[in-house]
């Protein structure tokens, strides 16, 4: 990703665009010679950055500076560089190429992450764990079912990336205001050749088609679509990161922690979830960039203004680099999650007596006890058990209920009430169905693109 948005790649792409334009202009009969094109190709990768920088200081125009720098290397071809084009031809088309390549880099990483979490979900699909609403213990779910909530968000993001990619079409050769007037002039009024030029150049740069309608620039709403997709990944990552931070506080599930890792300079025992914290931090930054692109798109006047330029040069690379870092961190955490099964069981059993009261209420009613009387008695015993816990005692709710004559006929059912798997509902089946019906089909479409995991380190 760093290379995609590097100056090296940016200005090489500018030169590729100038060469593609010259080649097609030659093919369509304009006065551009093969020898001129050969000279351009010979110097394409040898970018004289220092010369371009000197020209830019003088001209205060980056595109003209690089045209002059390129022309200095190719004296015979200098006069045909950028023929009929405007700055957006290289600037905007390069932005589109970079975003296309960036999205294509993120897609397999996201799919790979989904695959990792899918394995985790299947492994722990049957393991009961406390579910929380309002961050208070509610009913039970399973560790694998909770992981499917994370995956579901990521599948939405996968579709979002694919949509954003489908929205990226080549600007093409549109001229100063999008009318292609300069190219129509070059081709002596032959609009068919203008359209051929547009189409063939798009193909040379890897696009199936180009925009039919544009101003000087491509619509900045394309940036919005791309940033919306990236920000959506950040939302999902933030949700996951916060869940892991909370689970680590409960000591139920922990992120990877190296043997020599230091949690705190003062408190040597600390095991802080710093990867998840970084994940949330970066996600918040990326989400903040989303609104920027909308403001920029809405501030474009007529066929274009330049107040988008400096802004976009910061926002778009930052967003893609940040999203790349987020996916690498997310994957690193997901691959190394440590599930503390005994602690999870202990916490389940601490709360299960309260969770089981609904089943006990139904058992009492079935044994002939008045439902309302049983409900009131369970409420009283539950409050007493909760008070005992707050005083440092154990949860003795089951003992209290078994000792209550009102529940004498339901004693056997009460004894069987504390089996956690009886309270996870359809969670296990839901995991199987979700993986089968939604995860596997999505990953199958991406199977040939999910590469080997990268080992690069995120240093922010």
Positions annotated as catalytic residues are 134, 264
**In this structure, are residues 128 and 343 in contact, taking their beta carbons and an 8 Å threshold?**
no
Percentages (nearest 5) of helix, strand, coil residues in the chain: 65, 5, 30
Give the Cα separation of 410 and 412 in Å (integer).
Answer: 6
The greatest distance separating any two alpha carbons of the chain, rounded to the nearest whole angstrom, comes to 105
Rg (CA), the chain: 31
The residue among 320, 150, 161 whose CA lies nearest residue 236 is 150
Three-class SS state of 139: strand
Q: DSSP states of 302-314 as a string? A: TT--STTHHHHHH
Q: How far is CA 43 from CA 24, 25, 39, 87, 348, in A?
A: 19, 19, 7, 21, 69
Place of tokens 């056997």: 412
The residue among 78, 90, 118 whose CA lies nearest residue 20 is 90
Q: What angle separates helix 274-298 from helix 309-335, to the nearest 10 degrees?
A: 150
Place of tokens 């950040």: 234
Give the Cα separation of 107 and 101 in Å (integer).
Answer: 10
């Amino acid at each position: 990703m760093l290379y995609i948005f590097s100056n090296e790649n940016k200005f090489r792409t500018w030169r590729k665009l100038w060469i593609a334009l010259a080649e097609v202009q030659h093919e369509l009969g304009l006065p551009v010679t093969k020898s001129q094109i050969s000279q351009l190709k010979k110097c394409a990768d040898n970018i004289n950055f220092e010369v371009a920088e000197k020209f830019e200081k003088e001209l205060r125009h980056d595109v003209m500076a690089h045209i002059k720098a390129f022309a200095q290397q190719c004296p015979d071809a200098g006069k045909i560089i950028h023929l009929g084009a405007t700055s957006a031809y290289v600037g905007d088309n390069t932005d589109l190429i970079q975003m296309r390549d960036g999205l294509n880099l993120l897609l397999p990483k996201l799919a790979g992450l989904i695959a990792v979490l899918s394995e985790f979900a299947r492994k722990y699909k049957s393991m009961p764990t406390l579910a929380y609403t309002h961050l208070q213990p509610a009913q039970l779910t399973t560790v694998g079912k909770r992981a499917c909530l994370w995956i579901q968000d990521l599948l939405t993001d996968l579709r979002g990336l694919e949509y954003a990619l489908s929205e990226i079409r080549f600007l093409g050769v549109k001229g100063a205001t999008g009318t292609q007037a300069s190219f129509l002039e070059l081709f002596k009024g032959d609009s068919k050749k203008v359209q051929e030029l547009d189409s063939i150049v798009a193909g040379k740069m890897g696009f199936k088609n180009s925009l039919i309608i544009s101003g000087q620039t491509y619509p900045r709403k394309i940036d919005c679509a791309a940033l919306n997709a990236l920000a959506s990944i950040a939302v999902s990552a933030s949700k996951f990161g916060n869940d892991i931070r909370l689970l680590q506080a409960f000591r139920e599930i922990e992120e990877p922690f190296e043997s020599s890792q230091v949690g705190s300079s003062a408190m040597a025992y600390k095991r802080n979830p710093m990867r998840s914290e970084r994940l949330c931090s970066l996600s918040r930054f990326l989400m903040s960039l989303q609104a920027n692109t909308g403001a920029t798109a809405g501030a474009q006047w007529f066929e274009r203004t330049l107040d988008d330029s400096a802004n976009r040069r910061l926002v778009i690379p930052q967003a893609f680099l940040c999203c790349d870092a987020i996916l690498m961190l997310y994957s690193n955490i997901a691959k190394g999650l440590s599930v503390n099964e005994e602690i999870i069981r202990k916490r389940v059993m601490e709360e299960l007596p309260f969770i089981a009261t609904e089943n006990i209420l139904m058992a009492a009613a079935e044994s002939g006890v008045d439902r309302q009387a049983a409900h009131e008695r369970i409420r009283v015993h539950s409050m007493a058990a909760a008070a005992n816990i707050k005083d440092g005692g154990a949860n003795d709710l089951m003992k209290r209920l078994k000792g209550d004559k009102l529940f004498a006929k339901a004693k056997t059912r009460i004894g069987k009430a504390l089996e956690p798997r009886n309270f996870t509902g359809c969670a296990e089946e839901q995991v199987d169905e979700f993986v089968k019906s939604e995860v596997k089909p999505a990953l199958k479409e991406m199977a040939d693109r999910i590469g080997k995991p990268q080992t690069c380190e995120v240093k922010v």
